[in-house]
């Protein structure tokens, strides 16, 4: 089936659960079309049964960067267009820096940076040609702040945010907007024992990360954030002309990021003269292209 109508079409990675599922259901309920990816296509049986031809399930592991272009091409072949790309796939990991193996750290980067980047590269020629579209990167409050035991997870999200900030400036002239969503704790499977990854623990770090390990596990099922409400906020924000690049989601994200930003600014101002003393004396301000 090939369609060329004006109905919006979304590619949503990680659409079988959590915020990805909430965004898929919101789009489908609005009469739009969705290509949803997950590692197992049978997890989409419910969406397929309810929405029929407007929903297409694709089995794809986002870490398979070589397969991203095929998913985008499938969307174009079936629906004739892509209007939005949402990266909602992701998983948490708990472990001190010394506990996290090289393979585990690479897996976080593959899932949270390299996978999304491959999808963006694949879809951009189509969006540029149409001179419109939206890219939603599901980051985290952990993409702007970090704390003991979540360094590997934050490494992936920090990288995604830096890459996406540059992307936003590159594609804005083509009418493409980028939104980085930074949720706090939402009632998804993120904290479930069979989803949240835990590095092999060393008792050496019990004092510094033990409380974080426990808190991450205890949060399952009692998170403050509502995925359906978050999906509505994200969709509304994409239609807001003066929307920010980064959007904290949830009251905890607002509190934490406000504290982090204020603290970072205070440090810059406090040590400004020390920082400036590293320049050659008498140099004029740099002229840059950004």
> Which one from 139, 140, 154, 164 is the annotated catalytic residue?
139
Beta bridge partners of 169: none
User: Phi-psi bin for 202: left (phi > 0), alpha (psi -120 to 50), beta?
Assistant: beta
Active-site entry in 17, 157, 184, 205: 157
Our answer to whether residue 153 is catalytic in this structure is yes
Cβ-proximal residues to 221 (8 Å cutoff; 6+ apart), any chain: 187, 191
Q: How many CB atoms are located within 10 Å of the residue 248 CB?
A: 22
- What is the rounded CA–CA span in Å between residue 148 and residue 215? 12
Catalytic residue among 16, 51, 140, 153: 153
Is 270 designated active site?
no
Cα separation, 61 vs 75, whole angstroms: 16
Which residues are catalytic, by number?
Answer: 139, 153, 157
């Amino acid at each position: 089936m090939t369609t060329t109508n004006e109905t919006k079409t979304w590619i949503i990675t990680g659409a079988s659960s959590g915020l990805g599922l909430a965004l898929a259901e919101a789009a489908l309920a609005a009469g739009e079309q969705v290509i949803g990816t997950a590692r197992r296509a049978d997890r989409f049986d419910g969406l397929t049964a309810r929405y029929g031809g407007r929903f297409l399930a694709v089995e794809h592991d986002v870490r398979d960067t070589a397969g991203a272009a095929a998913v985008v091409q499938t969307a174009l072949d079936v629906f004739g267009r892509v209007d939005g790309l949402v990266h909602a796939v992701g998983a948490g990991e708990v472990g001190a820096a010394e506990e996290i193996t090289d393979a585990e750290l690479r897996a976080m980067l593959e899932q949270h940076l390299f996978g999304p980047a491959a999808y963006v590269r694949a879809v951009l020629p189509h969006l540029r040609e149409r001179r419109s579209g939206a890219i939603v990167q599901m980051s985290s409050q952990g993409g702007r702040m970090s704390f003991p035991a979540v360094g590997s997870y934050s490494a992936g999200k920090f990288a995604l945010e830096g890459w996406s900030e540059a992307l936003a400036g590159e594609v804005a002239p083509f009418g493409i907007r980028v939104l980085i969503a930074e949720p706090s704790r939402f009632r998804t499977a993120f904290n479930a024992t069979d989803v949240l990854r835990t590095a092999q623990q060393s008792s050496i770090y019990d004092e510094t990360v033990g409380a974080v390990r426990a808190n991450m596990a205890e949060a399952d099922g009692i998170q403050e954030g509502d995925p359906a409400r978050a999906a509505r906020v994200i969709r509304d924000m994409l239609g807001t002309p003066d929307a920010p690049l980064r959007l904290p989601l949830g009251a905890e994200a607002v509190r934490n990021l406000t504290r982090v930003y204020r603290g970072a600014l205070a440090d810059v101002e406090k040590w400004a003269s020390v920082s400036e003393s590293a320049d050659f004396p008498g140099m004029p301000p740099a002229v840059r292209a950004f």
